[in-house]
Structure 1
Amino acid sequence: MAVDLSFSTSKEHFNVRSAAIIRQHDHILCTSFEGLGFWFLPGGRPKRGETSVEGLKREFREELNAKIEVDAPHIIAESFFDLHDERYHELALYYVAECPPEVRFVTDQDCHTHEEEGRIYRYRWIELNGPTLKQFDLQPRALHAHFIDLPPLPLHIVFEG
């Protein structure tokens, strides 16, 4: 069984995560699950021995039954945050990708759902503007401006929160 590229101690976690920046009609594809309280970009953790691109492609096959193509990471983000009284350090690689034809574009409702490990993940197109991203609490907030206006070159950012 493949193991996620992450490790934990009693109250601290380190994650490597690959995510896709998929934009269409001034919206961005996001996901969440019940009880989480915020949204994030679709993707997941690569498995040990798997590249970040391979992991991202696998996650899209598993969760959305879709195929994506990506090149180099567009944003590399190191974030430090607390979630449920535990400390996280996450290294996230954000790749720009075209919308796969399997993912339908609809607004004001979920475009897809997926059940995994007892959680039902919801996927939704969220309008790319500051107030709407705040309303849906798209995380990480420090990247909102970069999701709206993609940086011209790969960007490395480190932030707290």
Structure 2
Amino acid sequence: MPESTYRERLRIRVNGLLIDDEAMLMVKLRSPVTDSGIWMPPGGGLKYGETMEACLAREFREETGLRIEVGALRHINEFLNPPFHAVEFYFEVTAAGGELALGNDPEHTSDSQLLQKLKFIELEEFSSYPIMPEYLYTQFLREQKEGKKGISFSGK
């Protein structure tokens, strides 16, 4: 069961915020925490010896088929819901090639894939989706409207 992979250990995740025409690229996945569908920006776990930029480029390719350029760090989120604990870094990214298509997670077998769908979700429609982390449909949307840049932090 994939959930055991993420239990009782600190996981460092790197995610990309790809916005095109007031919509963000999101991946629907089966959450290992809740076992339900949620929408998140593409990204995943940092491997030992891998830079965050390399991790994000690899995860984006695996999940979306796109090559990206990594921009500014926008948010750090700490998720703590025992037995799960993750520290997540969210970077602005721009597309640099490739073809958009739902990929897979090589850490899981074909019958235990977490990835379900891939699509651009209009920022105005975020409240209609189960989007994680909460920061994205609260603070991030406000910051986008205000043109605010910089790093923010949330945790629970």
Verify same fold: TM over 0.5: yes
Q: Is the 8 A contact 2:68 2:93 kept in 1?
A: yes
- Among 121, 133, 153, the alignment partner of 2:150 is 153
Alpha-carbon shift at residue 20 of structure 1 (Å):
0.3
| Distance apart, 1:146 and its partner CA | 3.5
Are the counterparts in 1 of residues 66 and 95 from structure 2 also a CA contact under 8 Å? no
Shift, 1:79, TM fit:
2.2
Amino acid at match of 2:86: E
Whether 1:94 aligns to 2:90 is yes
Structure 1 pair 146–96 and aligned structure 2 pair: CA distance change class (3 A): farther
Count of residue pairs brought into register by the alignment: 138
- Shift in Å, 1:127: 1.1
1:62 shift after superposition:
2.4
Q: Cα deviations across residues 68-101 of structure 1 (Å, max 9, x unaligned)?
A: 11134221121223xxxx5322111100012344
More deviation in 38-47 or 91-100? Answer: 91-100
Secondary structure of 2:66's counterpart equals: coil
Give the Å deviation of 1:49: 0.8
Report how far residue 67 of structure 1 moved.
1.3
TM-score (normalised: structure 1): 0.73
Q: Note if 1:49 corresponds to 2:69.
A: no
Q: Please, what is the CA RMSD of the aligned residues?
A: 2.3
Flag structure 2 segments of 5+ consecutive residues without an equivalent: none
Whole-angstrom CA distance in 2 between matches of 1:23 and 1:142: 16
Q: Which structure has greater helix proportion?
A: 2
Whole-angstrom distance in 1 between the partners of 2:69 and 2:97: 12
Tell me if structure 1 keeps the 8 A contact 2:16–2:43.
yes
Paired AA for residue 65 in structure 2: N
User: 1:1-161 to 2 correspondence within 5 Å?
Assistant: 12-33=8-29, 36-81=36-81, 86-103=82-99, 112-116=101-105, 117=108, 118=110, 119=113, 120-129=115-124, 132-148=125-141, 149-150=143-144, 151-155=148-152, 157-160=153-156
Residue 103 of structure 1 deviates from its aligned partner by: 5.0
- Corresponding residue SS for 2:138: helix
* Contact map agreement 1:29 1:124 (CA 8 A) in 2: yes
Q: Using the TM superposition, name which of 41-50 and 26-35 deviates more.
A: 26-35
Code of the residue aligned with 1:147 in structure 2: it is F
2:55 aligns to what SS in structure 1? helix
How far is the alpha carbon of 1:134 from its aligned partner? Answer: 2.8
Match of 1:4 in 2: none
- CA spacing shift, 1:37–1:121, aligned 2, 3 Å: closer
Q: How many percent identity over aligned positions?
A: 24
Q: Structure 1 pair 69/144, CA: closer, same or farther in 2 (3 Å)?
A: same
Residue 63 of structure 1: CA displacement? Answer: 2.6
